[in-house]
């Protein structure tokens, strides 16, 4: 039985929206046995076991692995906190999956970045591919390899101070690490990002990636728009005061 306690921000007959804590992975990766959001789902809603579709890792290889992800339509990184939508039924899963594929789901993030960004708002429109040196990383800069996939992030500066900016970011595409990769590409990497700003000292009191999934908007099958917000976590609130 899972001993995790995860705040539920919204729930109806078809969807649950949780406030995922930083440091918690959404589903297993086949390499570790740490607790996951999926463990929590199966604990509180065991009837959801068959909802969704499995993820096949290393297909066709001797070490092929099937990972079950009940109700999981999208994910956020381990060290990112905030809103995550989980489908409770197969029909709700398919409906939400289509919205993600059609880019009809609106996601809003908050983050702290290095440098006081001069423009009040802007857009990063740079395709993303694999980093040519490190398979764990993605890149929106010259020299990226493999398929380059379109990626667009809109952003707005909410506060500046002491060499940092507090930003609202809205990715219009859903590429892996998109916000982290885009902000690095335009030279204001995210605070405490171990992958994309490894040589920068952690700042503003963060000991984890300074990225929070603040809000999400999607439609239910009746066509009603559901918008859910996750309050700023304590480390974000403390960091905001340091920009004064």
Catalytically annotated residues: 77
205: left (phi over 0), alpha (psi -120 to 50) or beta: left
**Beta-bridge partner residues of 164:** 114, 161
Query: For 96-129, b where at least 16 C-beta lie within 10 A, e where not — what string?
Result: beebeeeeebebbbbbbbbeebeeeeeebebebb
Please, what sign has the CA dihedral across residues 102, 107, 113, 119? positive
37 Cβ contact list (under 8 Å, min separation 6): 4, 6, 18, 20, 24, 25, 26, 27, 72, 84, 86
Rounded Cα gap, residues 166 and 113, in angstroms? 7
């Amino acid at each position: 039985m899972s001993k995790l306690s995860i705040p539920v921000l919204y729930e109806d007959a078809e969807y649950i929206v949780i406030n995922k804590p930083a440091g918690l992975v959404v589903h297993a990766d086949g390499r570790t046995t740490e607790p996951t959001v999926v463990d929590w789902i199966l604990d509180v809603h065991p009837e959801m076991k068959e909802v969704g579709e499995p993820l096949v890792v290393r297909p066709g290889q001797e070490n092929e692995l099937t990972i079950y992800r009940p109700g999981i339509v999208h994910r956020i990184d381990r060290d990112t906190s905030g809103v995550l939508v989980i489908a409770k039924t197969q029909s709700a899963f398919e409906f939400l999956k289509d919205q993600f594929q059609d880019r009809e789901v609106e996601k809003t993030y908050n983050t702290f970045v290095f440098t006081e960004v001069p423009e009040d708002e802007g857009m990063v429109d740079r395709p993303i591919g694999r980093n040519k040196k490190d398979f764990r990383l993605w890149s929106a800069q010259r020299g990226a390899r493999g398929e380059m996939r379109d990626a667009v992030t809109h952003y707005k500066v909410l506060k500046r101070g002491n060499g940092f900016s507090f930003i609202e970011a809205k990715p219009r595409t859903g590429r892996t690490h998109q916000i982290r990769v885009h902000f690095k590409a335009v030279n204001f990497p995210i605070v405490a990002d171990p992958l994309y700003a490894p040589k920068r000292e952690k700042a503003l009191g963060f000991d984890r990636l300074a990225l929070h999934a603040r809000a999400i908007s999607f439609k239910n099958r009746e066509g009603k728009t559901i918008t859910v917000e996750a309050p700023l976590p304590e480390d974000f609130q403390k960091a905001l005061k340091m920009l004064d």
